[in-house]
Amino acid sequence: MTTLDALAPHRRDHSLSLWIGLILVGLHVAVALLSLVWTPYDPTAMAGGRLEPPSLTHWAGTDRLGRDFFTQIMIGSRIALIVGIGAVAIGAAIGVTLGMLAAFASRLLDDALAATLDILIAFPTLLIAMLVVAASDTASLGSAILALGIALSAIVARLTRILAKRVLVMDYITAARTSGTSWIGIVFRHVLPNIWPTLSVNFALQFGLAVIAEASLSYLGLGAPPPNASWGRLLQEAQGTVYTAPIGAVAPGIALVSLVIGVNLLADGLRDIGDPTRRLAR
The CATH number given to whatever domain includes residue 92 is: 1.10.3720.10
216 in a structural domain: yes
* Separation in Å, CA 198 to CA 18, 77, 167, 202, 259: 16, 27, 13, 6, 21
Query: Distance between CA atoms of 157 and 199, rounded to whole angstroms?
Result: 10
254 in a structural domain: no
Q: Which residues contact 264 (CB under 8 A, 6 or more apart)?
A: 21, 204, 205, 208
Q: What is the mean pLDDT of the chain?
A: 86
146 in a structural domain: yes
Q: Is the pLDDT at 6 greater than 50, yes or no? A: no
Query: Distance between CA atoms of 15 and 6, rounded to whole angstroms?
Result: 16
Please report the pLDDT score of residue 242 as a whole number: 86
Note the pLDDT tens digit of each residue in 107-137: 888 888 888 888 888 888 888 888 888 787 6
274 in a structural domain: no
Cα angle 29-38-74, degrees, rounded to a multiple of 5 = 45
252 in a structural domain: no
Average of per-residue pLDDT across 27-32 = 96
Q: Which stretches of the chain are DSSP H helices?
A: 3-37, 69-104, 107-122, 125-135, 141-168, 171-178, 183-186, 192-219, 231-238, 247-274, 276-281
Q: In which domain, by residue range, is 104 found?
A: 74-246
Please report the pLDDT score of residue 3 as a whole number: 44
pTM to 2 decimal places: 0.87
Please report the pLDDT score of residue 29 as a whole number: 96
59 in a structural domain: no
29 in a structural domain: no
22 in a structural domain: no
Count structural domains, the chain. Answer: 1
